[in-house]
Amino acid sequence: MRIFLNKKTSMYQIFRSIASSAMVFVLFFSSSLFAQDGATLFKNNCANCHSPGAKRGTGPGLQGFWDRIPGGDEAGKTKWLVNWVKNSAAVINGGKDEYINKLYAEYNNYPMQAQPHLSDDEIVAIKDYLVNYVAPVEDASGSSAKKNPFIESEQKDNTLLNWLLGLAIVFLVLAVALAGIKRNLQSTLDEKQGVTRQYLPFPKNLFKWMGEHKLQAGFIILLIKIILLVMLYDWTMGIGVYQGYQPEQPIKFSHAIHAGENGISCVYCHHSAEKGKHAGIPSVNVCMNCHKGIQEGTWTGTKEISKIYAAADYDPATGKYGDNPKPIEWIKIHNLPDLAYFNHSQHVVVGQIECQTCHGPVEEMTELYQHSELTMGWCIDCHRKTEVKMEGNGYYNKMLGELKEKHKGVDVFKVEDIGGLECSKCHY
Amino acid sequence: MSKQKKYWNSIQHLEGDAKFVENANKEFAEYVPVDEFLSDEKIETATTSRRDFLKFLGFSVSAATLAACETPVTKSIPYVNKPHEITPGIANYYASTYYDGNDYASILVKTREGRPILIEGNEHSTVSKGASARVNTSVLDLYDSKRVQGPLKGKQAISWKKADAEIKEKLNTVAQSGKQVVLLSSSMISPTSKRLLSEVSTAFNGAFKHVVYDAISYSGLLDANEKTLGSRVIPTYRFDKSKVTLAIGADFLEGWLLSSKYAADFAKVRNPEAGFMTKHYQIESKMSLTGANADERYTVKPSEQSKVTVLLYNELAKKAGVAALKASSVKGSEQFVAKIANDLWSNKGASLVVSASNDVNTQLVVNKINELLGNYGTTLDVSAPTLIKQGKDKDMLDLIQDINSGKVGAVLTYGVDPAFNLPASLKFAEAYAKLDLSVALSYKLDHTAKISNYVAPVNHYLESWDDAEPISGSLSLTQPVIGKLFDTRQWQDSLMKWASVEPDYYTYLQNAFKAVGGQKLWNTSVHDGVAKGTAKPVAYTPVSAADIAAAGEAIFNTKTADLEVELYYNVTGDGTRADNPWLQELPDPVSKVVWDNYIAMSPSQMKELGLETNIQQEIPANLATVKVGSNEVTLPVFPSPGQAKGAISIALGYGKALVKEELVGKNVANFIALDAQKQMSYHAAASLEGSTETYLMASSQTHHTIMDVDPKDPEKGRKIVNETTLEGFAKGREHYNPLITLADAYGEQKTTKELNLWEDHPYDTFGHRWGMSIDLNACNGCSACVTACHSENNVPVVGKDEVRRNRDMFWLRIDRYYSSDMNEQVAKENELGAWEMYSAMEQPSDNPQVVFQPVMCQHCNHAPCETVCPVAATTHSNEGLNQMTYNRCVGTRYCANNCPYKVRRFNWFQYDAYDKFTGVNPAQDDLSRMVLNPDVTVRSRGVMEKCSMCVQRIQAGKLDAKKKKQKVQDGAIKTACQTACPTNAISFGDLNDQTSEVRAKFNDDRAYFLLEEVGTQPNVSYMTKVRNIKESQS
């Protein structure tokens, strides 16, 4: 075992040294940033409004943008791009850039947010990523992408279950009929042989049988009892657990489109997840950041988006807000009992837990549902399994030292080890 | 030595009353009325049979089960436009100012999702510290559904537009007819409001007058100061510079003038480790909170307070070589006047004499005393005088006269309720009815608002803009922290509308600030809550010989009666805040009585009169009728050790609040008399007639008696309060706080830490260990922490009846112990035998010493409650906290029975739903419920609760540190009680952080643990109380 481990380590080390020398090589011959970083930078800074493909979002799709933008040669275009990204407001207000003037009008006079925090290199990295971007090839049949998930009736395939149930009934009828025939035959036989047999009516015959076969009867009764108890236990344990809860929301909002297809970061809308206990349902003004530009939905046309406008009291034709906004009454899906205190920022920022760990594949959910049980057992289970991200967090320095001192040779500690199962961590 | 001293919390405790002892040995001294219930004849004829009962039971169980199966639909409604500063779940703090005409405090308001839920002290303030009980409970008043919710004409609702037009027209008519328009208000410390009033006056062509009336009057003091300081101001008392302080009747630690400042200043010089420890003398009639904290306290009748002042003056005059005054002797004063005078004289320039008298002559003598002592400019700061009281009693009397004579045609009242606070003999209501126009700018439909033509409802201060200047040059700002809940308007805006002053008060105020310091000053003032202005110093002019002689003569001529009644204001204030259930439920700091006012009388005098002193749950107090002149009031008599013989005291401000249509207490304003200088006099000659009629009272003083405190046998009793003298303190820890050792099975002496049955928890070396230290020298028992805890932790209010049944719910209580003046040393000096000494110890002293000790869950490391819980609902955390998990609790109450400190509380009822608590418990009202802290569970019936050491704040503080990736900074986490404390008596922090303040206090020589002998190893420690007296006096 030990040898194997060592072998593995050495293999890993060799692999790593090769990789790192390759890295040095690449670093030596290329600019300091890679297209890979460009992808991350794009996702974090641009993807909320721009598609890397041709699709129009709040802003234009960026496929082929490098050929479109002014500036002449490579260097000129880079200069123009850096200036625009870092200082878009000045360019728009200057009003001298024909290309921008046209775009600005096309996008309902909705300006691009300046990104002054990006360095020139970073902007070039994003550009490189976009120029080399190849849109993923859509499924040839196109079935899943082309169907409107909201209109499609989501009937579950119960055929097999129905067949089995039908068969069971047929067999039961058959068994009863056969038993009748058997009895008739028996009585005919008895009559012929002149035997008189006493037939006890149900359930006396059952009791008689049970009296004669005590062991078997006892076993069957015990089995039935156990099954009933297990069913009762399961049923009671399910009270108050709403896993899979999928209420109909006032707006047919699709996380699959927003988080999945458009790749909008979760915390763009649920920004308080990084700050406080509530992840927060975004207020209408957050929706309007993008939907001032995007006025038609992928599947529902203007029908659902117009509900946002109604809530914000916004007239898309004139681009003006009224003074009678009404909040949207969403149905809350993830409900914790009042006696439990849960803080999103503790888990998202300190624990660095992905949203999907608890909320499931939200980016694939057309209509959101409750993915996890949200029971105390479920919380505890995770606290037993999850490592605390102690390294690099000054808060844990002292604690980590003390723990390492106590448990020599152990480097990682679970939430449980620092008191994560205690009552008043969540109940007060 | 203090250990041999006797401590008792009540007369019955001292006397070892059988019922008391029985109750003290139980956690819950409840009376279960089984016999009453069974003897109820209706039980026989009840139509609900056993079978019916079972049917109901079965039905409700199945209904509840079915209901549980259905997914409850919860809506989540986000903002349309989320305000930038609000993040759901995160509290915002805004700096503001509380001033209600009496109390001043610069505060921080904690808001959650836009709702103010807690008031804390503002650390930026140089004037006030902490938030007193009256200040921190004020947040509940905001959500009072009994507020006036829109303008009224008579009793009919009217629109603002209509009301404004009518009032404006009438005001103009009055002004043009040559009559005066008067604004009658309490003291006004807002410089901008005052400037506004001068503009309003111009708008009415000078036919406008501002009359200040203070229900709690300081008119005598102000009038005397007018003569000596040239203006009606009060010098800023510097208790922190005084080495010898004498207060005559002045309760300067609670309620008297700027007590929030004085308490903080005073605590600074009561620290035995600091440069000097001030000596505090108190001469008074009733046992006040300040008197209870005094090193030496002497009792005289109310009228004798002035006479003693003159005697003291004469004693000092003798030393200074100036003429003495004509003086009458006061029985018993010989023993202390000379002594105090000597002490004051030897600390010339560093002493302070204050008096609460509302008599100009007495205050003139006091001023002269301070002048003789050279205190002006040192302990009486005249470079920045105090402005928080301005009322002149004569102005009020003149106003009534002017109304009657037709000189005044319209009165607007704001912040005052003269119809309630003035004695009926002044005939205010009759005069008020004669007015052409009366408008109450009122918050509540109080006595005056009810008889006004119009009620123009005002905002709560948490909905208003204003500024304040409590001390000349120290400004602070009041800002709204919530939108207006009702159709109200702040009084300045109303006045501006009626006098056609533009634009609105907010702009007006902003402009005033900007004119001085531009936008920057305004922004910093809004942010910090405080700003610096320019102080207007005054100069002290000596009182002339003729004046002081006349004053002495006048005092000489006042008569002393056999029985005198003294009227005072207790922690509930002057009655304007009487509807606040948190304040009513707060036990009086000294008597511990709740929801009532009463006649406080010396126990020995009560026994002479044959009145019941042993007042308990089922033993009622006797009622007695007090007569002053032609007025009489019948109230229960309550024993008050330390009360001057021949003097009784009754609190004003009662008889206003209604609970279920019944008045809380009785109003005794009719006893207020006018003295020769037309000043309100708060004491009078009285007669008292006891009766056999009885009245059940609720006082928490006999509740939660800590285990094994046996005054009959102090040797057996364990150490609860540790106190010493300054002399004893100097001798070192061995002398006053010796290490406690107990003999083990082999007779070997071991410390409580060594003598240990259980395995120790590992937190001593791991992570956090939260601890609290309470300095008994700084704690003065003011009870601000008790209401702050109520507010932070959603502690239910249970009402008088339940408190009487020992079912109060305080997570934090303040134990008040009396101790007699007999001890071993005194016995030795007087050559008394042991028997004589102990019997003398049992004599309730007429002037006992008092100790205050806040007690909350001690978070024992070896907690007796944890081991007896059958369902593990109370467990120990790895951070040293004793955790209480409500949803696990099944209510066996074993834990409470096993708690030696009696800090666990049981939810006997669903306080937020049961109709018994309607009108008492704020959580029953949809509006008042807004005050609940959303981070703390509201407990249900049948579960235990207790102090959690504000675990919600600990968790929030830890999370904050984790997000900042740093260790928890010392002082970053504060408990609610700590934020309210004006004297920094409470320290909280991580004991494992060796640099923390609380660790230093745990290691201090004065630190001791409550009932350390029991071996519970608490995480709360106390600091020994040190009195500035001789060993022989202790």
pLDDT tens-digit series, residues A351-377: 999 999 999 999 999 899 999 989 999
Examine the domain organization and report whether A113 and A185 are in the same domain: no
Examine the domain organization and report whether A204 and A169 are in the same domain: no
Q: What is the pLDDT of residue B31?
A: 56
pLDDT tens-digit profile of A219-272?
A: 999 999 999 999 999 888 888 888 888 888 999 898 988 888 888 888 889 988
A410 within domain boundaries: yes
A263 within domain boundaries: no
Examine the domain organization and report whether A61 and A123 are in the same domain: yes
Q: Which is nearest to B886 in space by CA: B868, B902, B906?
A: B906
pLDDT band at B658 (very low <50, low <70, confident <90, very high): confident
Examine the domain organization and report whether A60 and A129 are in the same domain: yes
pLDDT band at A141 (very low <50, low <70, confident <90, very high): very low
Chain A nearest CA to B872, separation (Å): 10
A349 within domain boundaries: no
Q: State the total domains in chain A.
A: 4
pLDDT band at B41 (very low <50, low <70, confident <90, very high): low
Look up the CATH number of domain B2-25+704-1033.
3.30.70.20
pLDDT at B861 over 50: yes
List the single residue in B77, B90, B881 with the smallest CB-CB distance to A329.
Answer: B77
Reduced to 3 states (helix: H, G, I; strand: E, B; else coil), residue A194 is coil
Q: Which is nearest to B328 in space by CA: B313, B349, B310?
A: B310
Domain locations along chain B: 2-25+704-1033, 234-386, 561-700
pLDDT band at A196 (very low <50, low <70, confident <90, very high): confident
Q: What is the pLDDT of residue A30?
A: 42
- Say what the alpha-carbon torsion angle A376, A381, A387, A388 is, to the nearest 10 degrees: 10
Q: What is the pLDDT of residue A144?
A: 46
Say whether residue B433 is in contact with chain A using an 8 A CB cutoff.
no
What angle do helix axes B360-372 and B219-229 make, rounded to 10 degrees?
A: 50
A106 within domain boundaries: yes
Q: Comparing A15-29, A153-167, B516-530, which segment has the lowest mean pLDDT? A: A15-29
Examine the domain organization and report whether A54 and A115 are in the same domain: yes
A94 within domain boundaries: yes
Q: How many residues does chain B have?
A: 1034
pLDDT tens-digit profile of B78-91?
A: 888 888 888 888 89
**Boundary (domain end) residue, out of A239, A266, A290:** A239
Quote the Cα angle for B7-B13-B16, to 5°. Answer: 115
pLDDT band at B502 (very low <50, low <70, confident <90, very high): confident
Chain A nearest-CA residue for B882: A424
Strands (E), B100-151: 104-112, 115-121
Domain containing residue A108: CATH number: 1.10.760.10
pLDDT at B825 over 70: no
Say whether residue B72 is in contact with chain A using an 8 A CB cutoff.
yes
- Contact between A85 and A118 (Cβ < 8 Å): yes
Say whether residue B515 is in contact with chain A using an 8 A CB cutoff.
no
pLDDT at A138 over 80: no
Q: Comparing A20-34, A294-308, B135-149, which segment has the lowest mean pLDDT? A: A20-34
C-alpha to C-alpha distance for A94 and A84, rounded to whole angstroms: 12
Q: What is the pLDDT of residue B54?
A: 83
A256 within domain boundaries: no
pLDDT at B456 over 60: yes
Architecture of the domain spanning B561-700: Beta Barrel (2.40)
List the single residue in A239, A245, A395 with the smallest CB-CB distance to B68.
Answer: A239
Reduced to 3 states (helix: H, G, I; strand: E, B; else coil), residue B683 is strand
Percent of residues in chain A assigned helix, strand, coil, to nearest 5:
55, 0, 45
Chain B nearest-CA residue for A344: B89
List the single residue in B76, B877, B952 with the smallest CB-CB distance to A422.
Answer: B877
Q: Which is nearest to B601 in space by CA: B650, B560, B568?
A: B650
pLDDT band at B50 (very low <50, low <70, confident <90, very high): confident
pLDDT band at B402 (very low <50, low <70, confident <90, very high): very high
Its pTM stands at: 0.84
A175 within domain boundaries: yes
Q: What is the pLDDT of residue A7?
A: 39
Q: What is the pLDDT of residue A156?
A: 59
- Test mutation, B69, B70, B82, chain A, max A CBs within 10 A: B82
Q: Comparing B16-30, B523-537, B935-949, B973-987, which segment has the lowest mean pLDDT? A: B16-30
Q: What is the pLDDT of residue B832?
A: 65
Q: Residue B82 and residue A332: Cβ atoms within 8 Å?
A: no
CA gyration radius for chain B? 29
| Comparison of pLDDT for B133 and B753, the residue scoring more | B133
Q: What is the pLDDT of residue A265?
A: 87
Distance of alpha carbon B4 from the chain centroid: 32
List the single residue in B73, B78, B935 with the smallest CB-CB distance to A331.
Answer: B73
Q: Residue B89 and residue A399: Cβ atoms within 8 Å?
A: no
pLDDT band at B2 (very low <50, low <70, confident <90, very high): very low
- As given in the structure block, the two tokens for residue B332 are 């018993």
- Contact between B804 and B933 (Cβ < 8 Å): no
Examine the domain organization and report whether A39 and A97 are in the same domain: yes
End-to-end CA distance of chain B: 8
pLDDT band at A2 (very low <50, low <70, confident <90, very high): very low
C-alpha to C-alpha distance for B779 and B852, rounded to whole angstroms: 7
Tell me the helices (H) and strands (E) count for chain A, helix number first.
19, 3
A294 within domain boundaries: no
Say whether residue A257 is in contact with chain B using an 8 A CB cutoff.
no
Examine the domain organization and report whether A105 and A42 are in the same domain: yes
Examine the domain organization and report whether A127 and A212 are in the same domain: no
Q: Residue B79 and residue A283: Cβ atoms within 8 Å?
A: yes
- Contact between B263 and B782 (Cβ < 8 Å): yes
pLDDT band at A88 (very low <50, low <70, confident <90, very high): confident
Percentage of chain B beyond pLDDT 90 is: 55
Say whether residue B881 is in contact with chain A using an 8 A CB cutoff.
yes
Percentage of chain B beyond pLDDT 70 is: 91
- Contact between B601 and B612 (Cβ < 8 Å): no
pLDDT at A419 over 60: yes
Domain that holds residue A402: 375-428
* Alpha-helix residue ranges (DSSP H) falling in A213-257: 214-238, 255
- Test mutation, B70, B73, B79, chain A, max A CBs within 10 A: B79
pLDDT at B176 over 80: yes
A contacts of B88 (beta carbons < 8 Å): 272, 276-278, 280
C-alpha to C-alpha distance for B293 and B283, rounded to whole angstroms: 12
pLDDT at B806 over 90: no
Say whether residue A404 is in contact with chain B using an 8 A CB cutoff.
no
| Comparison of pLDDT for B989 and A120, the residue scoring more | B989
Q: Residue A422 and residue B878: Cβ atoms within 8 Å?
A: yes
Examine the domain organization and report whether A132 and A61 are in the same domain: yes
Examine the domain organization and report whether A192 and A204 are in the same domain: no
Q: Residue A335 and residue B72: Cβ atoms within 8 Å?
A: yes
Say whether residue A380 is in contact with chain B using an 8 A CB cutoff.
no
Phi, psi of A49 (to 5 degrees): -115, -30
Tell me the helices (H) and strands (E) count for chain B, helix number first.
35, 46
CATH top-level class of B234-386: alpha beta
Upper half-sphere CA count for residue B971 (Cβ side, 13 Å): 5
Q: How many CB atoms lie within 10 A of CB B434?
A: 13
B contacts of A341 (beta carbons < 8 Å): 935, 952, 955
Over chain B, what is the mean pLDDT? 87
